[in-house]
Amino acid sequence: MDLQLTGRVAVVTGASKGIGLAVVRTLLAEGARVVAASRKSSAELDALAGANLVHVPVDLMDPEAPGRVVERAVEEFGGLDVLVNNAGGPPPGVSLPRFGFLTPTDDDWREMFEFNLFSAVRAIRAAIPVMLGRGGGAIVNVSSVLARQPAPMNVDYNAAKAGMNTLTKVLSEEYGPQGIRVNTVSPGPVLTAWWTEEGGAADIIAGQAGTDRESVLRNVAPEMMNLTIGRLVDPQEIADMVALLASPRSAGTTGAEFAVDGGFLKAV
């Protein structure tokens, strides 16, 4: 299926690895021109280098950074059609999961909201005038199923993602009549660096469960989360949904949330 993304301009945040890298790779394969934003590049992102890809090294904890990324898209490619707010998860220097409501401090809450919600708010604020000038566009916010099924861990992260879901609904109502579609993709547990890095989620859970990282990734986490497919989700499976929602082929879809979670959510 032709997603009709050839020549369209996209910004992807958190683009150097994991879900963001998969989104960049997928949009490029569909013919889009992509501005990839992350604190630093990666060998995998560098391997995609070409005329249709620009990397902008920014720290999205900086309130001015999202606006600079959108400005770069206009400078390099003349506008903006697609914004993918993918940056999220543990803020720089933070390891998750954290257990219990009393664990995160005020500073932890502020950092979590800065990275997982406010960076997206600022990117959208910068993107909307540019999109309106081109007659519309598509915004895809990467949230989490934990926004809808929270647990007594990562309480600050869960709350930030719940805010993103609400933001998506509000924006879709305000800007849908003007041609800007806004949707959410909510991943479940995805096989990314958040899980696999040393000191990451797999190591933390392994310490709690008295096992090792590989056992957590292969068996413990899927069983603990009751994943229907019996494994963590692959980043490409998230990227495919993001690309579809970014596409004009999804012109009738706005204000919607799509869980790509391996069957984590069980509620109707």
Alpha-helical regions (H) of the chain = 18-29, 43-46, 65-77, 106-113, 119-133, 155-175, 193-196, 201-209, 213-215, 221-224, 235-246
Q: Is position 175 annotated as part of the catalytic site?
A: no
Q: How far apart are CA 184 and CA 146, in angstroms?
A: 13
Among the options 118, 157, 195, 258, which is catalytic?
157
- Helix then strand then coil, in percent of the chain rounded to 5, is 45, 15, 40
DSSP letters of 94-143?
A: --S--BSTTSS-HHHHHHHHIIIIIHHHHHHHHHHHHHHHTT-EEEEEE-
Q: How far apart are CA 249 and CA 268, in angstroms?
A: 26
Are the beta carbons of 55 and 36 closer than 8 angstroms?
Answer: yes
Q: Give every CB contact of residue 198 below 8 A, 6+ residues apart in sequence.
A: none
Distance between start and end Cα atoms, the chain: 30
The catalytic site residues sit at 157
